[in-house]
Structure 1
Amino acid sequence: MDDVNERHKEKMQKIKAAREKLMATKTQEKGLIIVHTGAGKGKSSSAFGMIMRCIAHGMPCAVVQFIKGTWSTGEREFLRERFPDECKFVVSGEGFTWDTQDRERDIAAAQSGWEQAKAFIRDPEMRMVLLDEINIALRYDYLDIDEVVTFLLNEKPEMTHVILTGRNAKPELIEAADLVTEMSLVKHPFRDGIKAQPGVEF
């Protein structure tokens, strides 16, 4: 057992030394364009976790929620009720596209949300802006992908982080992003007839 422990210690020492050498080369900071996409669950949940971190660090932040307009979500109630000064929260959608069944209204809601998003992003006090489910609005061409990408690349302040969530992120957005995570679906209870539940899905 002593030999096993000693070999483990030596291995961990080598890993630590290599890690410290690697970390010494990472010296830059910048505001990131972050994309959470894919068919799996957790895109918005992960992004809201980042918003919680910002609040804990005293970093002003904002959320613009596309598509989910009529759906009462836990994160919306939590942030609006408990952290209204730390995190601005705007709802621009009226519900999922199959709920509204009105393309013109969906486009108008998405455009309104995008205008508010641009205002938040341009605000030099904001450190992080979450555009929740904007990828859905982009997928259905409610917003112009070229306009969104051009704005993010040219007008986003240097140290502002912007997170864009939703399935089917467009290739242009993935190309422009600094960090892209694709959530893969392995299993989901919906397939077994279990509906969306508070605390898990919303």
Structure 2
Amino acid sequence: MTEQRYKERQQKRKNKVDETVSSAQIERGLLLVITGNGKGKSTSGFGTVARAIGHGQKAAVVQFIKGTWECGERNLLESHGVEFAVMATGFTWDTQDREADILAAEKAWSDAKRMLADPGLDLVLLDELTYMLSYKYLGLEEVLQTIANRPAEMSVVVTGRGAHPLLIEMADTVSEVKSVKHALNAGLKARKGIDW
């Protein structure tokens, strides 16, 4: 490809990007859903929290499902003023106690509702919330309504596999993380600082 042809192609791309950017004029908080069967959904959500904190914004996190392991993200972010509410039951295949899991989910959801009503927060991460909906630990309608009724400037990130179609429909941005290969399947142990 000649230098001239390359420049023409890049200019076309730039024009298209510039047009898209200039036509985006609505300003309000966003709902992001990060779903799929691949590794990195929570990591992406925590990256968004770190980005917000880096810009001087206020964020809070509710961790559903996980919570019995040490959490590197929590270790870092709590020291920067990020409030965490943790279900702290671990994975559902470990507890095998539906009643206790539902109670723990409801308690964590109570914290989430408080956070989602707080106009002082710029961002709330609802980590692994999708499981609470697919397992029917929490009511879908209440969750969707609470997210919809949050302060206008607040953004919300929801992570987890199998996001409900109504949650996907409601979201402004949806990313699907696809599993191509996973170290665990090759017998490699989870690593501190990489996996948690």
Place the TM-score, normalised by the shorter chain, in its bin: over 0.9
Letter in 1 for 2:132: A
- Distance in 2, matches of 1:6 and 1:117, equals 54
Q: CA deviation at 1:151?
A: 1.6
Of 144, 151, 164, which aligns to 2:158?
164
TM-score by length of 1: 0.91
Of 90, 94, 106, which aligns to 1:95?
90
CA deviation map 1:136-191 (0-9, x unaligned):
122211111111012212x2111111111111111221122111111111111111
Q: CA deviation at 1:49?
A: 0.6
Ranges in structure 1 where 5+ consecutive residues have no aligned partner: none
- Distance in 2, matches of 1:11 and 1:37, equals 33
Q: CA deviation at 1:21?
A: 2.5
CA contact (8 A) 1:93 1:106 kept: no
What RMSD in Å do the two structures reach over aligned CA positions? 1.4
Q: Percent identical across equivalent pairs?
A: 46
Correspondence for 1:22: 20
Correspondence for 2:124: 129
- Greater C-alpha Rg: 1
- Distance in 2, matches of 1:43 and 1:7, equals 39
Letter in 1 for 2:168: I
After the TM superposition, list the runs of 4 or more consecutive aligned residues in structure 1 that deviate by more than 3 angstroms: none
1:24 partner SS: helix
Q: CA deviation at 1:104?
A: 1.3
Correspondence for 2:144: 149
Q: CA deviation at 1:51?
A: 0.3
Q: Does 1:196 align with 2:190?
A: yes
- Distance in 1, matches of 2:9 and 2:165, equals 41
- Distance in 2, matches of 1:167 and 1:143, equals 16
Letter in 2 for 1:28: I
TM-score by length of 2: 0.94
Q: CA deviation at 1:5?
A: 1.8
CA deviation map 1:21-61 (0-9, x unaligned):
23211111121111111100110011111001100111100
Q: CA deviation at 1:11?
A: 2.5
Of 99, 115, 129, which aligns to 1:104?
99
